[in-house]
Amino acid sequence: MRYFVAVAEELHFGRAAQRLGIAQPPLSRAISQLERRLGTTLLERTSRTVSLTEAGSVLLREGRAALEAVEAAERRTRRAALATTGQAGVVLATKAGASDELLAKLLDAYASEPGAVTVDVLLCAIGEQERLLRDGRADVALLHRPFDSTAGFDTEELCTEGQVVVLPAGHPLARRTHLRMADVTELPGLPMPRWPCRDGTYPDGPGPQVRDHTQLTQLIALGRACAVLPESCRAQLRDDLAAVPVPDAPAVTTVIAWPPQSRSRAVAGLVRAATRL
């Protein structure tokens, strides 16, 4: 399975073999065996190019999920072992620089519960939380719909908030009481930045590429970009930035999410504390 995913991602037997740390011939054979076992061709190969069949792309998607599931199983077991010896607590993943006060309140509320264990907070780059949660490096995460996908997790809604546009403090529009999306998407000289896609590449477009909130606020302060963000970001706004409400931007819901199988005592406690906020 690991072999197939590697080949399907590289679309090149040689490179895939290298990545897997094996030689190319065993890899060819393994793929043929897999194809024979499933009774289908998964890869269409000419001697110059390799491409996925329909069945192959299904297996790529499902196989990735399966691999993540076994990794998660191993990791969570290891951590459960540490937890019994008291050497580890529960890992919470959250976006760096988002939902700060909510997070603080949550940690406070949970810490005051009886039987609370230590919570290791993992600050993530954009879109990283889902993977951490899926592959067992994190036990629970704070996600923001509709930006993050909650597919495959159990979730509980925590709060919903409107969005604001963040501008350099001196910008002419910064004194307005509110703006519409149409006003801010095409600001001359202040393009919206581009966030990385799930595969790490950036979409085409005019804006600068950013990876986290620090980069973003810096760019805005420099007058090179603007951004539409959840209201709660105002609490941590530098004083050279200004925020103006954008009523017609989609509302952002912060949810607490956890993998459906792993409702441990610690995760259940965190969720309970979160819903009581």
For binding to a second copy (CB under 8 A), which residues are involved? Answer: 1, 38-40, 42, 53-56, 58-59, 61-66, 69-70, 72-74, 76-78, 80-81, 83-84, 136, 151-154, 259-262, 264
Report the residue from 30, 106, 219, 256 that binds DNA according to the rule CB under 7 A. 30
Instruction: Work out the angle between the directed axes of helices 100-111 and 265-275 (0-180°, nearest 10).
Output: 120
Query: What is the β-pairing status of strands 43-45 and 50-52?
Result: antiparallel
Distance (Å, whole) CA 198 – CA 201: 8
Stretch that binds DNA, among 47-55, 148-156, 231-239, 265-273 (CB under 7 A): 47-55
- Cα 104 to Cα 79: distance, rounded to the nearest angstrom: 24
Residue 152 Ramachandran class (φ > 0 left, ψ -120 to 50 alpha, else beta): left
Q: Is 243 helix (H, G, I), strand (E, B) or coil?
A: strand
Length of the chain in residues, anyone?
277
Which of DNA, a second copy, none does residue 104 bind to, with CB < 5 to 8 Å depending on kind? none
- Near DNA by CB under 7 A: residue from 9, 19, 45, 221: 45
Q: Which of the choices DNA, a second copy, none does residue 110 contact, using the CB cut-off of 5 to 8 A by kind?
A: none
Place of tokens 């959250």: 94
Query: Closer to a second copy at the Cβ: 76 or 144?
Result: 76
User: Is position 250 an interface residue for DNA (rule: CB under 7 A)?
Assistant: no
Nearer to a second copy, 42 or 184 (CB): 42
Q: Which residues contact 79 (CB under 8 A, 6 or more apart)?
A: 88, 91, 136, 139
User: Closest approach of Cβ 127 to a second copy, in Å?
Assistant: 16
Nearer CB in complex with a second copy: 59/244:
59
Binding site for DNA (CB under 7 A): 12-14, 21-26, 28-33, 45-48, 50
